[in-house]
Amino acid sequence: MRERQVIIGCVATLMLVGLVTIYSNTAVSCGTNPLFNRVVARQALWAVISAAAIAAFAFADYHVLARYSRAAALLAVVGLGLLLAFGSYRNGAKRWFLFGPFSLQVSEFVKIAMILYVAGFASRKRKVLGELKLGFLPPVLVLTAVCGLIMLQPDFGTSVLIAAVGVTLLIVAGVRWRHVLVLTAAAAPVLFILLRMREYRWRRLIVFLNPWADPQGAGYHVVQSLIALGCGGLAGVGPGRGLQKLGFLPEAETDFIFATFGQETGFLGCVLLISVFVALFHAGTRVSRAAPDALGALLALGVTTLIGFQMVINVGVAASAMPTKGISLPFVSLGGSSLLALSIGIGMLLNVSRHCPAAPAPRVKGATRIEEAE
């Protein structure tokens, strides 16, 4: 399939853009700062490991992986529980296991585990997905348990992201809309309470409507991000010449890397970068449509949706179109755990594409994609 070449090319381009942007953001002393060498070298090492993971999972039959989908869900719950007990605090949250100079963010791998679990469950139970007790509640309860444990870290954004991807897969798989609407109605007041429980969450929600109302407080991150994007103009200030990364914009290598990239490459650079994500998303959805069975269709869609949602959230936050959330830009932001986990997902996506026919089957009018895959 041509989509395989597109996926590989897009991921390689995003990884390269990430390394170059991280280089620019950390080379604060003309490349002589030891911190720069450690940061970029570590990210490059993760990129090599991630490339190996892509190759390994591209040839690991996704049908075999699906046999362990329930074990993956159990491992996710156990891992999150151990993290709460033995994890390390950083910036007021317990999200990482530390191993010397390296850290492991468990929730990044939980995203992939949940995609595998929901896809495996929906493909096995497709005949009873319309039933509340047998087809809808089991995966929802697992997703609730996982999101609840992540919320305790606390990590509101990742919890919502995992829930959104999981529910999207269930809808596509064929659960009843009335069950989804009831779930949404029940979840809305819970989300409101969770937002109000932490004052910083509520401030972020309010301030994003007008970040300039509190430019030195809750709106500081967004204001600096908007300044960076605004200074970029049409073609940017040039590689390495951005100023917001020099201590003004927090999380310049992670959550707000799109803003620093935009300052140095301008509107044109931002459009090109988003175009790469669009090409990746389009190729992923074509793989999902062409998948030979429901399992492959859901796995490909899950990985593609996860990457798409993360990109939209990250760019939306940087542009003040969404409240601030700690969601990284896929394959670009600094972080080995995110890079490796998403690469495992890309490997599974490529594996599904290897089982696809040369061209997607024509759509049957009135049929869902999962029905066509059977």
33 falls in which pLDDT band (50, 70, 90)? Answer: low
Residue 35, pLDDT score? 53
Residue 99, pLDDT score? 80
Strand-pairing partners, residue 90, are 93
User: For 34-39, what is the mean pLDDT?
Assistant: 64
| Strand, helix or coil for residue 103 | strand
Yes or no: say if 332 and 287 are a contact pair by the CB < 8 Å rule.
no
For the chain, percent of residues with pLDDT exceeding 90: 65
User: For 166-186, what is the mean pLDDT?
Assistant: 94
Q: Which domain, by its residues, includes 243?
A: 2-373
Say what the pTM is.
0.91
User: For 196-216, what is the mean pLDDT?
Assistant: 77
Give CA separation, 214 vs 83, 217, 261, 311, 352, in Å: 35, 5, 25, 26, 48
Residue 2, pLDDT score? 86
What residue spans of the chain are helical by DSSP H? 2-26, 34-58, 62-66, 69-86, 106-124, 137-151, 156-173, 177-197, 199-207, 220-232, 257-290, 294-318, 336-354, 369-373
Q: What angle do CA 72, 310, 275 make, to 5 degrees?
A: 125
- Dihedral sign for Cα atoms in the order 82, 57, 10, 290: negative
Residue 366, pLDDT score? 46
**Average pLDDT over the chain, rounded to an integer:** 89
Condensed to tens digits (0 to 9), the pLDDT of residues 105-128 reads 999 999 999 999 999 999 999 899
Strand order of the sheet with strand 102-105?
Answer: 88-90, 93-99, 102-105
For the chain, percent of residues with pLDDT exceeding 70: 93
Residue 146, pLDDT score? 96
Is the per-residue pLDDT at 372 higher than 80? no
Q: How many domains does the chain have?
A: 1
Condensed to tens digits (0 to 9), the pLDDT of residues 248-282 reads 888 889 999 999 999 999 999 999 999 999 999 99
Condensed to tens digits (0 to 9), the pLDDT of residues 135-153 reads 999 999 999 999 999 999 9
Residue 358, pLDDT score? 65
Q: How far apart are CA 356 and CA 367, in angstroms?
A: 19
Residue 364, pLDDT score? 46
Is the per-residue pLDDT at 204 higher than 90? no
Is the per-residue pLDDT at 49 higher than 70? yes
Condensed to tens digits (0 to 9), the pLDDT of residues 277-307 reads 999 999 999 999 999 999 999 999 999 999 9
